[in-house]
Amino acid sequence: MIEFLTDSAVFGVALSLLAFQIGVFVRKKTGLSFLTPLVTATVIIIIFLVASGIDFETYNEGAEILKYFLTPATVCLAVPLYQKLMILKKNFAAVILGIVSGVLTSALIILAFCLIFNLNHQVYVTLLPKSVTTAIGLSVSEELGGIISLTMAAIVIAGNVGGMFAEIIFKVFRIKEPISKGLALGTASHVMGTSKAMEIGELEGAMGSLSIAVAGIITVIVLPIFANML
Amino acid sequence: MKYIKQFSIIIIISFLGECVKALLPFKIPASVYGLVILLVALLCGIIKLEAVKDTAEFLIQIMPVMFIPPTVGIMVAWDQIKSMIVPFCVTAVLSTIVVMVVTGHISQLVIRFKKRKEGRQ
């Protein structure tokens, strides 16, 4: 049985898609925004693999073809960015200054925490791209020599924090401008932050999806400089 | 035929991104070069939005599925991180909150400064 699955070309992909569908169903039924299909699917697959005794490599052999599409899909992020470019032009200073300060803050805070907790270089570069959209974050982590599945975990954490605490944070720290809310969510919590921003309002959502690509580009320029600091 | 054409454009741009990456010494992923190339091509009108839109939207929509295998990879990396799971999570959570506050406030300052200036005129 296991041999058959190892040889199967589509087993990994089929398992991933099926688990994802269950994840979509679970979120719809429970209405819990932090329970994204990705999180549910991951838990289901890990449980399935452990229970059936299939190792990760066997699963990944087939599933890895999904990774092939990551580069073209990331390229396609240019399309929503292009569609939102008018709003970027109108608020250029606020967008660029807001996002640049966010990206720099993220890197500095992570550097500080890694020094405080005595975490090594590999964990440091693994954490660095955690606020950026997954596709770019994973490539950056790989590029800098991080552990990509850990970067993935950090990205999921960053997304959930934004989704769950945004409204409290905006209230406590008195962030009231719709544009600022969108930028903050998109820069700190990428796609998951942006879907929260879309819930808050249309302008917030537009700014959020704009920040994803802009923060991604700024991050890839800035991070290699930070990578050598620890 | 529409999808073949759209997919071809996207793949060729991805390849151009890889070429740029090979030529330049920076640690920037090929996909980000590709993103910038596509954006510039759209802005210059070399590529019309309709020529890539449907396939682009499809690829973006299925992106979460592509993240499943690396996430499942945590089960392999687990032994490596078990000992530092608490500082790892604390760093991830707190840095996200601080980024949100900083980006929010800096952009809010800029917006309010602009509004005040416009109000005076």
For A39-85, strand residue ranges (E) read: none
Spatial contact of B43 and A82, defined as CB atoms under 8 Å apart: yes
Q: Are residues B33 and B46 in the same domain?
A: yes
Distances in Å between the Cα of A106 and the Cα atoms of A142, A144, A188, B99 are 19, 16, 8, 6
Q: How far is A31 from chain B (nearest CA, A)?
A: 18
- Tell me which of A4 and A86 has the higher pLDDT: A86
The burial class, CB within 10 Å (0-12 / 13-18 / 19+), for A96 is middle
Instruction: Find chain B residues with C-beta within 8 A of A187's C-beta.
Output: 99-100, 103
Per-residue pLDDT, A1: 66
In angstroms, the CA A188 to CA A125 distance is 17
Q: Is the confidence at residue A3, as pLDDT, over 80?
A: no
Spatial contact of A179 and A203, defined as CB atoms under 8 Å apart: yes
Per-residue pLDDT, A61: 85
Of B39, B98, B99, the CB nearest to A78: B39
Q: Are residues B55 and B109 in the same domain?
A: no
**Closest Cα to residue A138, out of A120, A156, A161?**
A156
Per-residue pLDDT, B117: 87
The per-residue pLDDT of chain B, averaged, comes to: 92
In angstroms, the CA A144 to CA A125 distance is 6
Q: Are residues B29 and B78 in the same domain?
A: no
In angstroms, the CA B37 to CA B96 distance is 30
Per-residue pLDDT, A131: 87
Q: Are residues B60 and B74 in the same domain?
A: no
* A-chain residue closest to B66, CA distance: A66
Contact across the interface for B100 and A185, Cβ inside 8 Å: yes
Per-residue pLDDT, B42: 96
The pLDDT tens digits of the residues spanning B22-32 come to: 999 888 889 99
Number of domains composing chain B? 2
Q: How far is A220 from chain B (nearest CA, A)?
A: 6
Q: Are residues B2 and B54 in the same domain?
A: yes
**Closest Cα to residue B36, out of A63, A74, A3, A219?**
A74
Instruction: Find chain B residues with C-beta within 8 A of A12's C-beta.
Output: 69
This model of the complex carries an ipTM of 0.89
Q: Are residues B83 and B60 in the same domain?
A: no
Q: Are residues B2 and B59 in the same domain?
A: yes
Provide the domain limits for residue B103: 70-121
Per-residue pLDDT, B83: 85
Q: Are residues B3 and B49 in the same domain?
A: yes
- pLDDT confidence of A73, banded at 50, 70, 90? very high
Instruction: Find chain A residues with C-beta within 8 A of B3's C-beta.
Output: none
Spatial contact of A98 and B107, defined as CB atoms under 8 Å apart: yes
Q: Is the confidence at residue A4, as pLDDT, over 90?
A: no
Q: Are residues B62 and B81 in the same domain?
A: no
Position B78, amino acid: W
The per-residue pLDDT of chain A, averaged, comes to: 90
Contact across the interface for A97 and B95, Cβ inside 8 Å: no
* B-chain residue closest to A164, CA distance: B97
Spatial contact of A162 and A185, defined as CB atoms under 8 Å apart: yes
Q: Are residues B8 and B48 in the same domain?
A: yes
Per-residue pLDDT, A193: 87
Residue of B72, B88, B93 for testing the chain A interface, max A β-carbons within 10 Å: B72
CB pairs under 8 A between A and B: 313
Instruction: Find chain A residues with C-beta within 8 A of B105's C-beta.
Output: 173, 175, 180
Q: Are residues B117 and B101 in the same domain?
A: yes
Per-residue pLDDT, A50: 92
- pLDDT confidence of A187, banded at 50, 70, 90? very high
Q: Are residues B52 and B79 in the same domain?
A: no
Domain edges within chain A: 2-68, 78-227
Q: Is the confidence at residue A162, as pLDDT, over 90?
A: no
Q: How far is A29 from chain B (nearest CA, A)?
A: 19
Q: How far is B19 from chain A (nearest CA, A)?
A: 13
Q: How far is B25 from chain A (nearest CA, A)?
A: 11
Distances in Å between the Cα of A19 and the Cα atoms of A31, A47, B5, B68 are 18, 11, 31, 9
Instruction: Find chain B residues with C-beta within 8 A of A152's C-beta.
Output: 67, 70-71, 73-74
Q: Is the confidence at residue A7, as pLDDT, over 90?
A: no
Mean pLDDT across B83-89: 89
Q: Is the confidence at residue A34, as pLDDT, over 80?
A: no
Contact across the interface for B70 and A152, Cβ inside 8 Å: yes
Q: How far is B4 from chain A (nearest CA, A)?
A: 14
Mean pLDDT across A128-155: 90
3-class secondary-structure state, position A191: helix
Which of the residue ranges A108-117, A203-212, B90-99 would you say has the lowest mean pLDDT? A203-212
Highest average pLDDT, of A121-130, A188-197, A200-209, comes from A121-130
